[in-house]
Structure 1
Amino acid sequence: MSATTEHDAAGSWTIREARPEDWPGIWAILEPVIRAGETFTWDRDTTEDEARGRWFKQAPGQTFVAVASDTSAILGTGELHPNQGGGGSHVANAGYMVHPGSAGRGLARALCAYSLGAARDAGFRAMQFNAVVESNVRAVAAWKSMGFEVLATIPEAFNHPKLGYVGLHVMYRKL
């Protein structure tokens, strides 16, 4: 998908495919989210090399970034890939992380919108999120507002470091 430009009161950004030289900025976003252990099902001790191998996707998947127009700082990142192989490869899966200093600006929604377009362009027919942490109410509300529905909630499937065991939503929408 071609790059898209968005803006808010704090400035503008461009969402584009990630490049290898973007990794330091991506890792600066991923590491605190992974270490906090509150919104992603990754091991909290995931190494930088493991994260890079897991986040950078091969075609038909892709990794993308939101880059500040004025400073070229990476504000957020996302990745898109087939949810399953074989007969399930027509359904996409994606994940997004935003720099804490850029939270509340609509970046996650913009990254999601970009991934929905990229998934359509790649021939996917639907998108499924397998593990949206129930207590991540901002993400749940954002994805619902973008047409996703909660198909199921797996009770106590996520051990939140502060809240204890909470549910994981499986969310879905057609493209």
Structure 2
Amino acid sequence: MPIREATPDDWPRIWPFWHRIVAAADTYTWDPDTPEEAARALWMAPDKRVYVAEDPPGQVVGSAYLTPNYGGPASRVANAGFMVDPDHGGRGIGRALAEHVLAEATAHGYRAMVFNAVVETNPAVGLWTSLGFTVLGTVPEAFEHPRHGWVGLHIMYRALGRPGD
């Protein structure tokens, strides 16, 4: 499946599933009522490398971003966000995006990747662990899940290969 860098023209095809996922309030810590322009500023910020997955070509079915998690001397630790259109889940799109972003992070000199707040009931936890991420810790009862009540937020980490390794 083609994965490429996003352009500003891709936002109208990302927004419908971005809104649907965030409004569900079960996997992201962003406000479920985030308006479109604020969402665009969060996802498409100039300091982020944004990617889209197309399947079939021309139909955006997922998106991801890559950005430094910290600044200054710690700026070689990456952070990323991933969303797959719920109508296209279970087809390996999330794994393909994750593998692409991990390769991009390594190519851009990042030494590690950290996810700051993975809802512990999120099915993607299994994907991240299968890709070598570990749970460094869990903030207990930090997320009010609409079905499960108060659940924890994992902080997940993975070292990245160094370019030339």
Q: Does 1:161 align with 2:146?
A: yes
Alignment partner, residue 7 of structure 2: 19
How many pairs are equivalent? 160
Q: Does 1:152 align with 2:140?
A: no
Alignment partner, residue 119 of structure 1: 105
Structure 2 counterpart SS, 1:29 = helix
Aligned with 1:38 (options 10, 17, 26): 26
TM-score (norm 1): 0.88
The question of whether the paired residues in 2 share the 8 Å contact of 1:84 and 1:91 is answered with: yes
Alignment partner, residue 129 of structure 1: 115
Q: Does 1:91 align with 2:77?
A: yes
Alignment partner, residue 50 of structure 2: 63
Q: Letter of the aligned partner of 2:19 in structure 1?
A: E
Alignment partner, residue 89 of structure 2: 103
Structure 2 counterpart SS, 1:39 = coil
* Percent of residue pairs identical: 51
Alignment partner, residue 52 of structure 1: 40
User: What runs of 5+ residues in structure 2 fail to find an aligned partner?
Assistant: 161-165
Distance 2:49 2:103 in 1: 12
Q: Does 1:140 align with 2:140?
A: no
- Report the RMSD for the aligned CA atoms in angstroms: 1.0
Shift of 1:57: 3.4
Q: Letter of the aligned partner of 2:97 in structure 1?
A: L
Distance 1:104 1:40 in 2: 19
Q: Give CA deviations for 1:55-108 in whole Å, capped at 9, x if unaligned.
A: 01334x3000001235x1111000110001112211000010001111001111
